[in-house]
Amino acid sequence: MLSRLLPLHLPFKTHHKLSFTFATTALAHSSHTHFTQPQQQVPSFSHVLQTLHSFHNHPSLALSFFSHLQQRGFPHDTSTYAALIRILSFWGLDKRLDSIFIHLISLSKQQPHPSLQIHHLFDNLFQEGVHGSNNNHYLLRAFDVFVKTCVSLNMFDEAIDFLFQTRRRGIVPNVLVCNFLFNRLVEHGKVDKCLAIYEQLKRFGLCPNHYTYAIVIKALCRKGDLEQPLCVFKEMERVGITPHSYCYAAYVEGFCNNHRSDLGYKVLQAFRKENAPIEVYAYTAVIRGFCNEMKLDEARRVFDDMERQGLVPDVYVYSVLIHGYCKSHNLLRALALHDDMISRGMKTNCVIVGFILHCLVEMGMTLEVVDQFKELKESGMFLDGVVYNIVFDALCKLGRVDDAMEMVEEMKGIHMVLDVKHYTTLIGGYCLQGKLIDAFSVFKEMKQKGLKPDIVTYNVLAAGLSRNGHANEANKLLDWMENQGMKPNTTTHKMIIEGLCSGGKVLEAEVYFNSLEDKNIEIYSAMINGYCEADLVKKSYKLFLELSNHGDIVKKDSCLKLLSKLCMAGDIYKVIVLLERMLLWNVEPSKIMYSKVLADLCHAGNVEDARSLFDFFVHRGFTPDVVTYTIMINSYCEMSCLKEAYDLFQDMQMRGIEPDVITYTIMINNFCRMNCLKEAHDLFQDMKRRGIKPDVITYTVLLDGNLKANLGQRFSPSREKRKIAPSDASAVLRDMEQMEISLDVVSYTVLIDGHMKTDNYQDAISLFDEMIERGLEPDTVTYTALVSGFCKGGHMEKAVTLLNEMYSKGMTPSFHIIAALQRGWNLEREELCRIADWLPGCHCNSLTFVAVLNHGPSGFSWLMKSVDDIQNKSSFGALLFV
């Protein structure tokens, strides 16, 4: 309440020593509007009341007169306040009334002797106003404003008592004021009180409107009662009130807020079939619900359904869905949706921009955050303190804390106020760099600005000290916190333990851990994380077992970290034990966790263990998703276990899990590698029939398979007996063109390599030139294909030319190029002198070159280094013949 009282600077102050300047009743007819004529006597209350009455048609003069007397110390009582309130009520000046009531409430709360009792004031108004004249019903406005003032100050009990008092005096409460009260009670979590008061006021004669019923529906849903709102709809039908769209939206939102967005959407669809007035907000509630449950595909389907119903999504709908994609780190979809919003003529805002920038930070794309911020600032968009703090965080992660400090000065220059979060981010940045003195300097500045550090600030400092090995200083900081009335919490202990371990101070972390009397799951999890961070996996696993043997289980993220470490160590037995303990305590590992464990095992080459674990998951009732299946299929393909891979591919489809483009591409690539072109093309056609669009990688795999198969048929002695490939490279290229998929560097390289191996040098060079014209930069693999082909065909001059081009672009030729060159020289040593003639100023020294090549990669490294030591050698070829 005080936060609302202080900024008003109302002139209502009581002074004990009075020096009066007042106006007479003649001022009512004067052209002057100020009170500057000094008088020597104190006006009487009757005189003041008479003057106020004369100002009835001039509310501004009445308020100025009243305020002037107040400033001079006149002791206004209930009668003068009542007179002013009547005038302001008559003219409908609600904001002025609100200011006066705020001031009166502050006077009534003065201790130990309030200077004015509000109930006396309203007794006056009731006696002289409502019952005094039928023309004074405008005073009801004053009663309504007083209730709203109390509610806005969160004085709910006072507002409710006043409503009951007015009802006892025969005044039926205003439904709009009651709606304001009910809604604020619900928003402040006082749902039961709201429903109880609603029922009482209904008995007192309150006639609810559709907004009242919407609030009641919202209140019931906040309680988790999703059936009773149906009775509310029936009551509305009984009393003849047509539900407004808000009523339907409140019920739909209730399901979503109770994590039943699927039911909420079904209810919405049912309402829509009954031709209920469903508007955008109801769809927004469902989309937000699905996003909160991280069911983004469902959220997108609702978004599309809304558009099919003819409703135009607004910026708030876009904001909700973009936020959902950003939380799941699906940046591409978030940006695509943002572009769609802009294309429809809607302007983005700092909230949406903040979602996207924060997503970039979490994905490690901190440099992009800084670049995007600069572009946004130059565009003139308003960027709030939240966006600035995100950029601070990005700069700190980049180690550019000084740049962040420059932005602080920029914020001050445009009168943006820094808050505790901004300073805490800067402190964290300096701690990450190990600049603890700078961190404490910012901490000191924050306190000098009058900002009180919160628990997050202290936690960041404690973590910084711990991570940099200052265990004693961290303990001193904890003592300082407690002296400042800030008690360390679980997060504080957690950050100190993990910080000490990451800083290599495991013994100090153990001492600190053991010194804590009340250890909860979070603290045990921190110690397990710390051991994992220090690669002390055995200690981490032992602590996990000790805790689980006592009937507790650590946090999911700690289990995932320990699982990952055990998988890297290849200890499948402990992995199984860990998972079984988790399931025993009903801590169901997520699909992401399962996939992560399988991926770690496969990455470590333990495919058999991964399959055992996969079967274990299925046996426990876990249905693998497309990611899990794809991980296993890829591992089998890498081991050339085509049968096992294909069995899994069929198994996932039998379970109703649709393979995606990655799964299909892996299988097609494996068939191509095994020269099973028919099966590869069958899968390719199958994925297109299922509506899965092949990407450039899929086409590149097919191109490579066809080219190699055709090459094998060309040189096979039993060529006429071999199966003819069901499609060739040209057919694949035509299909790419129809699908509007462009070749990339890899696919160009595959085609170039195929042409070089079949001696189609001109076609290979044409493709090489074409990719450059399209703005694609050939990589080392592309040059290797060309150089190897030319060397194999004995075109050493062209090979050397390409080698020079590579060198000019700063590329280091691979060992494959070295081997190709060596084979080329060995085949045609007599050509060396002729090649020397192509490079003016050079003298043949082929023996040196061959000797270098015979040393393999180390010899070639020496050769490249020698380029800098030889003067006037503008080409790589020049070095070979000096």
* Mean pLDDT for the stretch of residues 63-71: 89
Average pLDDT taken over every residue of the chain: 81
Q: Which residues contact 410 (CB under 8 A, 6 or more apart)?
A: none
Residue 87 included in any domain: yes
Rank 282-286, 534-538, 545-549 by mean pLDDT and report only the highest.
282-286
Q: What is the pLDDT of residue 320?
A: 96
Contact 604, 571 (CB under 8 A): no
Residue 2 included in any domain: yes
Q: What is the pLDDT of residue 839?
A: 37
Burial 860-870 (b: 16+ CB within 10 A, else e): beebeeeeeee
Burial 493-520 (b: 16+ CB within 10 A, else e): bbbbbbbbbbbebbebbbebbeeeeeee
How far, in Å, CA of 657 to CA of 618, rounded? 14
Contact 143, 101 (CB under 8 A): no
Contact 284, 254 (CB under 8 A): no
Do 31 and 153 share a structural domain?
A: yes
Statement: the pTM of the whole predicted model exceeds 0.75: no
Residue 669 included in any domain: no
DSSP E strands in 663-741: the ranges are none
Report the number of distinct structural domains present in the chain.
2
pLDDT at 22 over 80: no
Residue 162 included in any domain: yes
Do 135 and 52 share a structural domain?
A: yes
Closest CA to 820 of 843, 845, 844, 795: 795
pLDDT at 264 over 90: yes
How far, in Å, CA of 474 to CA of 384, rounded? 34
Residue 515 included in any domain: no
At 297-342, the pLDDT tens digits run 999 999 999 999 999 999 999 999 999 999 999 999 999 999 999 9
Do 114 and 15 share a structural domain?
A: yes
Does residue 223 or residue 118 have the better pLDDT?
223
How far, in Å, CA of 284 to CA of 307, rounded? 12
Residue 76 included in any domain: yes
Do 17 and 166 share a structural domain?
A: yes
Do 113 and 29 share a structural domain?
A: yes
Do 112 and 2 share a structural domain?
A: yes
Contact 290, 301 (CB under 8 A): no
Do 263 and 161 share a structural domain?
A: no
* CATH code (residue 314): 1.25.40.10
Considering 171, 206, 236, which residue would you say is the last residue of a domain?
171
Q: Which residues contact 53 (CB under 8 A, 6 or more apart)?
A: 83
Do 264 and 142 share a structural domain?
A: no
Residue 872 included in any domain: no
Q: What is the pLDDT of residue 12?
A: 36
Considering 143, 171, 199, which residue would you say is the last residue of a domain?
171
The helix (run of H) or strand (run of E) holding residue 560 is helix 556-569
Considering 171, 199, 230, which residue would you say is the last residue of a domain?
171
Do 147 and 261 share a structural domain?
A: no
The helix (run of H) or strand (run of E) holding residue 523 is helix 521-533
pLDDT at 290 over 80: yes
Token couple for 284: 């927004």
pLDDT grade for 787, boundaries at 50, 70 and 90: confident
Residue 124 included in any domain: yes
At 157-212, the pLDDT tens digits run 999 998 888 888 788 888 999 999 999 999 999 999 999 999 999 988 889 999 99
Domain assignment of residue 326, given as a range? 244-334
Do 261 and 156 share a structural domain?
A: no
Helical H segments across 809-855, by residue range: 815-827, 832-838, 846-854
Do 252 and 134 share a structural domain?
A: no
Do 133 and 17 share a structural domain?
A: yes
